[in-house]
Structure 1
Amino acid sequence: MGTLTEAMASGSTWQLSAEQGGELGGRWWKWALSAPDSKSPVRDTTGEHAAWSQPDDLWFLAGTYGGKVTRTCEVPSGRPLFFPVLNIQHAVSYSDRRPRLPVAHASAHLNGVPLELREFEGRFRYAFKRHLTWGVWGAINPLSPGQYVLEIKADTGKGFWVDTTYHLAAASSR
């Protein structure tokens, strides 16, 4: 498997293989699940906890537990971004069948420009258990310093929906 840098292509969408996307989906879940409730980027409705325990090689943006949320945060300009549009996971002890959600609609736009989204399946270990994950994900090449608006919308068609807006300030890497 190539490095994260090798996976990047020209344009705003970061191109990932199915293997890389599945691995990143698992890393994202470990990051999200490890946050205490008081600092959870997923529960955060403002962006205050967006920087919590970020890895050194990329920047995760949090999903939501559904509904509408607007977050404002600073991201480093030198790292790619990876985020869920719709995603789900469960421990293999619960079921050995891959989890899935129906997708009636899924989209992401960066400053009004549509981004390519991809479905990824993966595995990860957390709390001494094996987990399976599935999701519709977005990935963005490192942003130049400046201001951006990322709009993420999804609907399962079964009552669960997401409407997330990120106001991103890409700051020069120090």
Structure 2
Amino acid sequence: MKNKTLIIFFTTVILFIAGCKETTDEKPILQTNETNKFEKEKKAILTTLNEETKAAFQRDYDTWKSKWVQDPNITKTYINFADSSFSESVGWEEISGFVQNYFDEHPEPEPIPKLLNAINVSLYKNGAWVFYEQQDSLRGLKRETRLMEKIDGEWKIAGMQTTIYGFKN
């Protein structure tokens, strides 16, 4: 009877330890799933940003427009240290009008900057805060911050701040 009790005790301990081991193995799976989800969202954001950039430089208004949230509360700001200029547009109507006027005044496509492959992203449910640097062949170094919103499963730009530093002498 004593041997039977010891066998039951050790079997219970082994099963308990094995059960604990399985529980700790779930964390890496959860972390892997979260990492995969983050990387998937980051890639989708990167695609939106690159497509918006290509459309802007190619003067493709319809594609450019499709990458933006069309809401009265969005903003677009340019700060250009190279020529000491500044512009700010608030709301979709103003931003859209600014871009349409710019395309009308500068109809020739510009060389597309090297497309992004690295961005810094912080995700917040259906929103993201993104920042990166980009070298523009006409304007030099630019640092950009974008506020993104996920609408109907698609990432769109809800805010943009571009700081242009120009070329180093």
TM-score using structure 1 length: 0.30
For the pair shown, the structure with the greater C-alpha radius of gyration is 2
More helix by share: 2
- More relative contact order in 1 or in 2 (CA 8 Å, sep 6+)? 1
Greater strand percent: which structure? 1
TM-score, structure 2 normalization: 0.31
